[in-house]
Amino acid sequence: MNEIILQYLWRNVLFNPAGLRTNEREPVIVLHPGTQNHNAGPDFTEAKIKIGKTVWVGNVELHVRTSDWHKHRHATNPSYQNIILHVVYEDDEPLAGTSFPTLELKHHLDQAILDRYQRLMNLTHTIPCAGQLRHIPDILWVTWMDRLLAERWERRLDDWQSLWTQSGSDWRTLLYYRLAANFGFHVNREAFLDLALSLPLKILSRHRNNLLQTEALLFGQAGLLGGAGADEYMETLEQEYHFLRRKYQLVPLSGHRWKFMRLRPSNFPTLRIAQFAMLVHKSLDLFARMMEIKDTESILPLLEVQASAYWDNHYRFREQTRESQVKHLGREAASNIIINTVAPMQHLYAHLQGKDSLHEDSLNLLQSLKPEHNAITREWRSLGVIADNAAQSQALIQLFNHYCTPRNCLSCSIGNRLVRKGDVTSEK
């Protein structure tokens, strides 16, 4: 028994309500268990409990044992002085000097539920319920996947709130920040975002029509210019940046921020910055176009940019390759940007502007893209759970990261069903 399962049982009223009595033998009727509080303070708020002949509305605190009240030092915490009921699994000692009653649930719980939960927690598979997925009906998968995608977007939008403030509530600037972060992909995401934050979009836009100046601003702010052995292209960029830096009083990042190790050359930050420069150079009211486009085949041409000619035989400055090859961003990388930036931006814009039709467009974008292929989706595939499109792969990533890995099974629709009704078998 632990507080997680106890809170779950209380939240869902999974106990026998007959004969509930406080430690003072007063009858208890749970009219409403309350709303679970995930912040500091009592576990449940706005509960409605009838104790004896009186209906109480207020906070409820849960513990495995009554003695945990003192172990958690609630007696001296003002936040816990106004609770209406103390719910415990086992009432192991009386609480002196308190104004609230205690309710023991130990003999009112379904042991089968507790056993299934314990077996689920003891399973060692990365996805705890891997062996029971065949018991899950399709309709539950469909509804849960929809909720997971919405949750993933909501989490992402929460993460974007500070950027929304820094952008001055400007949609174009927010898109600029998020596109930059996306161009850094996983390894250089933070460095790429800081690059965008250090270089205002209004400055970059003034020089958008001049590709050389656009590259100079981005590479200069990235701290990747200068040093011994510069070739003609680098020297030209450095001259342009020197002038522009003084003009706009820019402060560049440290070049040491950028990571090259264990990356394929096609993912080197130098190449991604060059491709991002081309996107800025080609873009004309990119935000408006991306918010209005409803299908991937119309968005992909906007994103499938190529680096300038210098990069045909370079992946890094000063290091010329033997073979010459045009460095396109590529369809897979462009799809990644639609999944992680364009569609969520459409969702956020639709939410704040009250445009339901645009929300449907953002969902349709993901459903029209092929599912992502990574370690997480491969794990699900090995268990027979196969994503048909990017919307489903995003949902599976959310499920894996926020439910399976932390073993948050009681908050998962699938884990919830297995604990309540399923056949959770132990590993052999």
Q: What is the mean pLDDT of residues 264-273?
A: 96
Q: What is the mean pLDDT of residues 152-163?
A: 84
What does the pLDDT read at residue 243? 96
> SS3 string of the chain?
CCHHHHHHHHHCCCCCCCCCEECCCCEEEEEECCEECCCCCCCEEEEEEEECCEEEEEEEEEEEECCHHHHCCHHHCHHHCCEEEEEEEECCCCCCCCCCCEEECHHHCCHHHHHHHHHHHHCCCCCCCHHHHHHCCHHHHHHHHHHHHHHHHHHHHHHHHHHHHHCCCCHHHHHHHHHHHHHCCCCCHHHHHHHHHHCCHHHHHHCCCCHHHHHHHHHHHCCCCCCCCCCHHHHHHHHHHHHHHHHHCCCCCCHHHCCCCCCCHHHCHHHHHHHHHHHHHHCCCHHHHHHHCCCHHHHHHHHCCECCHHHHHEEECCEECCCCCCCECCHHHHHHHHHHHHHHHHHHHHHHHCCHHHHHHHHHHHHCCCCCCCHHHHHHHHCCCCCCCHHHHHHHHHHHHHHHCCCCHHHCHHHHHHHHCCCCCCCC
pLDDT in tens, 3-53: 999 999 999 999 999 999 999 999 999 999 999 999 999 999 999 999 999
What does the pLDDT read at residue 427? 55
pLDDT in tens, 62-106: 999 999 999 999 999 999 989 999 999 999 999 988 889 999 999
Q: What is the mean pLDDT of residues 126-152?
A: 92
What's the whole-number average pLDDT of the chain?
92
Examine the pLDDT at 392 and tell me if it is beyond 90: yes
pLDDT in tens, 277-295: 999 998 877 777 777 777 7
Q: What is the mean pLDDT of residues 145-169?
A: 87
Q: What is the mean pLDDT of residues 191-215?
A: 96
Q: What is the mean pLDDT of residues 369-390?
A: 94
Q: What is the mean pLDDT of residues 96-122?
A: 92
Q: What is the mean pLDDT of residues 399-414?
A: 95
Res. 267 pLDDT band, cuts 50 70 90: very high
The rounded percent of the chain whose pLDDT value lies above 70 is: 98
What does the pLDDT read at residue 227? 82
What does the pLDDT read at residue 354? 76
Sequence spans of domains, the chain = 3-109, 113-155+374-428, 167-367
What does the pLDDT read at residue 236? 96
Examine the pLDDT at 428 and tell me if it is beyond 50: no
Examine the pLDDT at 210 and tell me if it is beyond 70: yes
What does the pLDDT read at residue 426? 55
pLDDT in tens, 224-257: 998 888 899 999 999 999 999 999 999 999 999 9
pLDDT in tens, 303-327: 889 999 999 999 999 999 999 999 9
